[in-house]
Amino acid sequence: MKKVNIGLIGLGYAGKFHLRNCLKLESVNLVAVADVSKKTLNLAKRSGVKQTFTDYNELLKQPTIDAVLISLPTHLHTSSAISAAENGKHIFLEKPLARNPEEGEKILSAARKNNVKLMVGYPFRFNSTFCDLKDKIKSGMLGDIQTAHVVNCAPGAFMHRGLGTIPQPVPKWWFNKDLTGGGALIDLGSHMINLARYYFGEVTNIKAYLGYRFNFDFEDHAICIANFTSGTTAIINVGWFSQKSVVGAELFGTVAHAYAYQHSPSKLSRVKTGIQLLLGRIPEFLVPYLKEVSYFVNCIKEDTPPSPSGEDALKDVEAISLAYKNQIRLD
């Protein structure tokens, strides 16, 4: 079975997940990585990656690379994805697609023009817990979903990354609205709006109530009320204010209701995760990331369109843009 040659661009939080998973997948040959940090490039070298670059454009020039996984800050999505498309590389791009619909359209245009596949990373779409809810909707066992609550409350910029107890802030670009396109709504909201669209169809209208607990010039929490083509009305609740994270969805149908939630891991499960990582195994929370990359690679091998596609992700950015326009500050 021929392997797909992959280049990984960006070795930040999600990028390290992809590094680990690419080295595990039998269908992947991780040819090269690019990052501005010499420290993370050394990590890749120690993991067995032979080619490393500080400039992703040099990686994209490598003729042996079939596709790239892009895990860069949001403001670099447009330039990196367009460059990848122009170099004939299939693209897996971390969410959100772009800071706004205009940038998203440019990325899609470049992918179409150069006939490359474009997939956007939404790991909840590959999470068995949330896929089970989709199956219940399709089966009709819940009836018509009249209302729903979709939530993603987490530490955000104050996340305890790793096994330590000291918060490790994310890079400074996260605190620049011009670079991110917004706050918690575009960050966490893109995940949850995509999940809600997966369940209920397209957004027909959306309004956002934005909050500013930490006095940034962008929202650190948001509550959206969204209407969908299925007739469902959903509350989408996202925020960066909680050290005990919770991600979930609760659906209220005309026949029955169902829910799925994921909460912060316990101390015991964090220790278990640490042991699994040290032993080179895939912890449970990394499995959806593994599945989405494996699926993307199979789409390349079988020449089938991936999902979530760029067009799908653009609809999330359009919904978020509309929510920002229809906003009400909570303070």
Q: Looking at residue 1, what DSSP letter applies?
A: -
Q: Please report whether residue 291 resides in a domain.
A: no
Is residue 297 situated within a structural domain?
Answer: no
Strands 257-263 and 246-253: antiparallel
- Report the predicted TM-score, pTM, of the whole model to 2 decimal places: 0.92
Q: Is residue 179 part of a domain?
A: yes
Residues 86 and 138 in one domain: no
- Are 117 and 149 contained in the same domain? no
**Same-domain check for residues 320 and 194:** yes
At residue 9, the pLDDT reads 98
Mean of the pLDDT values across residues 55-76?
Answer: 98
Residue after which a domain boundary falls, among 74, 96, 121: 121
Q: Is residue 289 domain-resident?
A: no
Percent of the chain with pLDDT over 70: 89
How buried is residue 302: exposed, middle or buried, by Cβ count under 10 Å (0-12/13-18/19+)? Answer: exposed
Q: Which of 85, 101, 121 is the last residue of a domain?
A: 121
Give me the phi and psi of 186, to 5 degrees please: -75, -30
Task: Work out the angle between the directed axes of helices 101-113 and 77-86 (0-180°, nearest 10).
Answer: 10
DSSP state of 169: P
- Would you say residue 164 has pLDDT above 70? no
User: Per-residue pLDDT tens for 69-117?
Assistant: 999 999 999 999 999 999 999 999 999 999 999 999 999 999 999 999 9
In a domain, 173, yes or no: yes
**CATH code, domain with 38:** 3.40.50.720
* pLDDT tens track for 190-214: 999 999 999 999 999 999 999 999 9
Does 295 fall in a domain? no
- Same domain assignment for residues 201 and 228: yes
Same-domain pairing of 15 and 95: yes
Tokens read off for 46: 């120690």
In a domain, 217, yes or no: yes
The string of pLDDT tens digits covering residues 239-280 is 999 888 899 999 999 999 999 998 655 444 554 555 555 556
CATH code for position 195: 3.30.360.10
First vs last C-alpha separation in the chain = 58
Q: How many domains does the chain have?
A: 2
Q: Does residue 143 lie within any of the structural domains?
A: yes
Written as one letter, the residue type at 98 is A
Domain that holds residue 198: 124-280+308-329
Q: Which of 59, 90, 121 is the last residue of a domain?
A: 121
